[in-house]
């Protein structure tokens, strides 16, 4: 303003009077090559005597909390004032950790993570629990797949992963995980994960600690679920959650992603074209165990017990389970088939197994008969007892 007025021919004295400033201020403004700025000369403060010692501690431990530093240097004043000064010094000593900008090529990677919805899901026994949702995102197209699973154990993680990979229709060349115990830690995969990766011909990548950028796509989607999917929803069971979530994902994959200016549904075919084909052989996944059936004719899967045909008591039976069913076989013959329960420490009983147990118990308590009487007994009793009837 001063320069403009003087350039228009207004005398300096009139400029000073018109703007309400001193004549010397006008002269300094015309002689300066930059706008005026108030500068306060540095002065000593109550923090100054402690600054050298604070710098020594930060040089040794850049992340030391300000409260600990204050204790070490015997700071007598306000902790807020001390924190403000330490905050100004800390950047000079903190090591830098730059984050590279990652480019995700088609078919290269699927980012995997567990999301825990902030709402408890009702279970079969009337209780409710926070349950994990397995999420896999095709990194190039940002196409989202996900479903709720019963546990974080390896068996359920692999079952859920296979189901989501089948939804993609192809296999990403890399599956990126952080340190999830059911998948692996460090450079060691959990039992069963190596054979799963080999069958799919893919590679599991376990990220080192403090590397959120390498899995940022799926981390951001987890927050997106909480702000866009969860509000206003209620669920009656895990199955109801999966139904609602699957319906919502159809719409979510049709929305434009701001960072790539495209819709996942439009890019997924490009992603699939570079992925690996699904394996030509069936995968042997899920819970598998061979146990001897005890007198109480129940087998345990995870934390729940399931009844088995009592005629298999004392025999070795094969227990298998997926995300939906629990089956028990004796020499290939099905002796139990139950819907899998997600509630903890539950007992699932088939009424037919109870009836068979009662019949066997009654026969066991009957007194032994003579040889002649035994030969005359109706053999159909034994067929009914051992489940051999037509």
Query: Is the predicted pLDDT of residue 370 greater than 90, yes or no?
Result: no
| Cα–Cα distance, 120 to 79 (Å, whole number) | 41
Considering the domain architecture, whether residues 233 and 336 belong to the same structural domain is answered as no
Considering the domain architecture, whether residues 119 and 223 belong to the same structural domain is answered as yes
Considering the domain architecture, whether residues 233 and 303 belong to the same structural domain is answered as no
3-state DSSP call for residue 379? coil
Is the residue at 335 inside a domain?
Answer: yes
pLDDT at 33: 79
Q: Which residue has the higher pLDDT, 371 or 239?
A: 239
Is the residue at 100 inside a domain?
Answer: no
pLDDT at 287: 94
Considering the domain architecture, whether residues 143 and 249 belong to the same structural domain is answered as yes
Residues forming beta bridges with residue 7, ordered by sequence position: none
Considering the domain architecture, whether residues 291 and 269 belong to the same structural domain is answered as no
Considering the domain architecture, whether residues 296 and 364 belong to the same structural domain is answered as yes
- Give me the mean pLDDT over the 27-43 stretch: 80
- Inter-helix orientation angle 79-89/48-60, to 10°: 60
Q: How confident is the model at residue 318 (pLDDT cuts 50, 70, 90)?
A: very high
Is the residue at 385 inside a domain?
Answer: no
| Cα–Cα distance, 157 to 151 (Å, whole number) | 8
For residue 164, what is the domain's CATH number?
3.30.420.10
Query: Is the predicted pLDDT of residue 388 greater than 80, yes or no?
Result: no
Q: Which residue has the higher pLDDT, 218 or 383?
A: 218
Considering the domain architecture, whether residues 217 and 252 belong to the same structural domain is answered as yes
Is the residue at 44 inside a domain?
Answer: no
Share of the chain above pLDDT 70, in %: 93
Considering the domain architecture, whether residues 269 and 173 belong to the same structural domain is answered as yes
Out of 6-20, 26-40, 314-328, give the one with best mean pLDDT: 314-328
pLDDT tens digits along 204-254: 999 887 776 778 899 999 999 999 999 999 999 999 999 999 999 999 999
User: Could you tell me which of 234, 226, 328 has the C-alpha nearest to residue 287?
Assistant: 328
Query: Is the predicted pLDDT of residue 377 greater than 60, yes or no?
Result: no
Report the predicted TM-score, pTM, of the whole model to 2 decimal places. 0.73
Cβ atoms of 193 and 156 closer than 8 Å = no
- Give me the mean pLDDT over the 347-353 stretch: 95
Structure tokens, 22: 């001193």
Structural domains counted in the chain: 4
Share of the chain above pLDDT 90, in %: 74
Q: How confident is the model at residue 291 (pLDDT cuts 50, 70, 90)?
A: very high
Give the number of other CB atoms < 10 A from CB of residue 312.
23
Is the residue at 36 inside a domain?
Answer: no
pLDDT at 366: 82
Query: For residue 8, how many C-alpha atoms fall within 13 Å in the half-sphere facing its CB?
Result: 8
What rounded mean pLDDT belongs to the chain?
Answer: 90
- Domain, as residue range, for 26: 2-31
pLDDT at 382: 61
- Inter-helix orientation angle 154-168/193-200, to 10°: 20
Considering the domain architecture, whether residues 247 and 350 belong to the same structural domain is answered as no
- Judging by DSSP bridges, how do beta strands 109-115 and 174-177 pair with one another? parallel
Q: Could you tell me the end-to-end alpha-carbon distance of the chain, in angstroms, rounded to an integer?
A: 106
């Amino acid at each position: 303003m001063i320069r403009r007025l003087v350039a228009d021919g207004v005398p300096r004295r009139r400029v000073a009077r018109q703007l309400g400033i001193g004549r010397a201020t006008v002269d300094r403004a015309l002689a300066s090559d930059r706008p005026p700025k108030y500068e306060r000369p540095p002065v000593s403060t109550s923090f100054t005597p402690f600054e050298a010692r604070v710098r020594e501690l930060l040089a040794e431990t850049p992340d030391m909390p300000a409260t600990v530093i204050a204790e070490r240097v015997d700071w007598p004043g306000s902790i807020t004032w001390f924190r403000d000064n330490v905050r100004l010094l800390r950047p000079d000593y903190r090591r830098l950790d730059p984050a590279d900008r990652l480019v995700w090529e088609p078919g290269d990677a699927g980012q995997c993570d567990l999301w825990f919805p902030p709402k408890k899901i009702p279970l079969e026994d009337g209780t409710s629990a926070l349950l994990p949702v397995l999420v896999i995102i095709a990194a190039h197209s940002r196409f989202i797949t996900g479903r709720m699973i019963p546990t974080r154990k390896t068996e359920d993680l692999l079952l859920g992963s296979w189901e989501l990979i089948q939804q993609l229709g192809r296999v990403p060349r890399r599956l990126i995980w952080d340190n999830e115990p059911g998948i692996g830690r460090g450079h060691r995969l959990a039992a069963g994960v190596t054979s799963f990766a080999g069958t799919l011909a893919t590679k599991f990548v376990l990220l080192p600690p403090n590397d959120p950028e390498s899995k940022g796509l799926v981390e951001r989607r987890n927050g997106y679920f909480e702000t866009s999917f969860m509000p206003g929803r209620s669920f009656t069971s895990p199955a109801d959650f999966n139904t609602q979530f699957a319906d919502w994902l159809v719409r979510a994959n049709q929305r434009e992603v701001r960072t790539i200016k495209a819709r996942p549904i439009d890019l997924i075919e490009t992603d699939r074209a570079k992925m690996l084909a699904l394996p030509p052989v069936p995968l042997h996944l899920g819970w598998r165990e061979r146990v001897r059936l005890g007198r109480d004719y129940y087998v345990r899967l995870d934390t729940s017990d399931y009844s088995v045909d009592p005629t298999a008591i004392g025999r070795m039976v094969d227990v298998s389970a997926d995300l939906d069913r629990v089956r028990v076989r004796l020499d290939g013959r099905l002796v139990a088939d139950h819907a899998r329960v997600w509630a903890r420490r539950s007992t699932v009983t088939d009424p037919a197994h109870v009836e068979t147990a009662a019949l066997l118990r009654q026969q066991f308590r009957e007194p032994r008969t003579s040889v002649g009487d035994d030969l005359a007994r109706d053999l159909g009793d034994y067929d009914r007892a051992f489940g051999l009837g037509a």
